[in-house]
Amino acid sequence: MSLLKLWLLDADVIIDLLSLDVFDKLAKQHEIFAASTVIGEVKFFKRSDDKHSVNLQQQYISIGIVKEFSASTDEIKHVLTKLPAVNQENIDPGELESLAILTREETLIFCSCDAAAIRALPFLNLSDRGISVENLLKSSGLQRSDLKDRHTEQYFKNNLAIGKKDKIYFF
């Protein structure tokens, strides 16, 4: 089976997909990338109220299941120059590095469930290169009925629309 697309996942998405027990299935269908900072942020996930530790570097990166990308300081600074101060303050380091990588790597699609990261996409002219967790799973045949609100397509679209309005307002 050939891999369908390339996905850049943020830490919350990886943690949630591990919790839902679909991360490994997704990785078999897609080429998955994560930013170096994101890899360091993912340490635990919960499944059935049990806390599990995870070492992405050892369990996924070192054996090639997930590929690691890094952004340079200049690439991250470039992204920051495109965002208004309010967005800069709300975006965490892993998502910021992911957005810098997304700007550079034109074949990647960014999957996030963080409002600030989704709202940043229009400022970077990357609105069409983001996807909700719900749509990622649906496109992979892994549709779930137990997703949180932040995973839904509606949540993603609402935050993308806010980002588009903010872009007009700030610039």
Total of domains in the chain:
1
Q: Within a domain: residue 110?
A: yes
Q: Within a domain: residue 153?
A: yes
Give the DSSP H/E element, type plus range, for residue 30. none
For the chain, the C-alpha Rg in angstroms (whole number) is 15
Report the candidate in 116, 99, 94 with the shortest Cα–Cα distance to residue 160.
116
Whether 54 has a pLDDT exceeding 70, the answer reads yes
CATH number at residue 106: 3.40.50.1010
At residue 42, the 3 state secondary structure works out as coil
Whether 2 has a pLDDT exceeding 70, the answer reads no
Mean predicted confidence (pLDDT) in 37-65 = 95
**How confident is the model at residue 78, as a pLDDT?**
96
Query: By residue range, what is the domain housing residue 147?
Result: 6-170
Whether 3 has a pLDDT exceeding 70, the answer reads no
Q: Within a domain: residue 10?
A: yes
Token digits for 90? 């709300």
pLDDT digits (tens, 9 = 90+) for 101-158: 999 999 999 999 999 999 999 999 999 999 999 999 999 999 999 999 999 999 999 9
Mean predicted confidence (pLDDT) in 18-30 = 94
Going along the chain, which residue ranges are E strands? 6-9, 31-35, 44-47, 50-53, 66-69, 108-111, 130-131
**How confident is the model at residue 90, as a pLDDT?**
87
Q: Within a domain: residue 1?
A: no
